[in-house]
Homo-oligomer: A and B are copies of this chain.
């Protein structure tokens, strides 16, 4: 018998009762019953996204919602600032370029967070910039950006701030309305504890004005159409009903636990993971680590790809390797969503075991001991 454990930064484990809720009788989407579900979900999404503005849903991966932000806020020839400190920051640039939007790239070293002052300088040097794109947690490097400060800078200008919070949401603090974030993008398969297939996007009043004037082509991802339907607790296209039924359940779980408690839980699991990795003699990759995922440098003389493979094939535990230039150089362990201290302890134990198998000299149990210490009163 081997259990299968999802310890990568998405998809994350889905609570059993949510799995069963999604297996419940499918309801037709153009009925008062489903309108009630949508109304409940829409109300609760605002709470979980910490915003008073609408949070729209799409049947798509998170990338679809990233594209939605670009094609609905901008017009041909507009200029935007893209913070690129990893694969997902770069994606905003790729999407913008695909639509003929001019990009000013702020290239941050992978593993470092963006400097809000540089964002301010770029805004000053590029008058008329329409939007700034950032990640909250840059999943590929495990850093968290200082969105509060970036928001402080951007909100003083006419530009809107779009934040990819797909992996960060509910793990790293984000107060969009207070911090000046206009669009928050989310995905179902991360902190929201669902299978992949739903994406989310919040829209501030400042963003709504840009939406009215945007001339980039769109249809399925039209926010005008989505907002019009949203006002009637409806959707423009057939929604992913079963995932939304699961979402309704997940949002209840989250609001019962309380958003602040969820943030604390993620912070403690993250701290335990980081300290355990250091106790095992390794170094963290991220200068400013996210509470969603911990990126660790693969020790010298250890085969990083073998580590990920053995974790998966022999320990039944999916962690993530490095992407792009980081392939084989880092590994990433999530502490995200439906995870508690014993999930984290299991992941740490498995890393210790596999490192030993790969010839790395470390005292077994040292990582777990550190984590236990940190999580003692959990």
Contacts and interface: CB of A to CB of B under 8 A. Distances in A.
B197 A240 contact: yes
A68 to B, nearest CB: 9
A108 B230 CA distance: 32
| Most chain B CB within a 10 A radius of its CB, from A6, A19, A22, A217 | A217
A113 interface: no
Contacts of A60: 58-60, 64, 220
B31 A312 contact: yes
Interface string A302-336: 00000000001000001000000000000000000
B6 A62 contact: no
Contact of A98 (B31, B217, B242): B217
Interface stretch (A9-17, A114-122, A206-214, A271-279): A9-17
Contacts of A240: 61, 195-197, 240, 243
A340 interface: no
Interface in A1-38: 4, 6, 8, 10-11, 13-14, 19-20, 22-23, 25-29, 31
Given A31-B312, A219-B67, A26 B10 contact: no
A100 interface: yes
A175 interface: no
Interface string A188-199: 010000011100
A152 interface: no
Contact of A61 (B8, B94, B189, B220): B220
Interface string A226-261: 000000000001111111000000000000000000
A95 interface: yes
A241 to B, nearest CB: 6
A352 interface: no
A26 B14 CA distance: 8
B197 A59 contact: yes
Contacts of A237: 61-64
A217 B312 CA distance: 38
A206 to B, nearest CB: 24
Contact of A241 (B8, B31, B99, B195): B195
A187 interface: yes
Contact of A29 (B27, B28, B196, B238): B196
List 5 tightest A-B contacts by C-beta distance, closest first: A197-B240, A195-B242, A19-B23, A61-B237, A28-B318
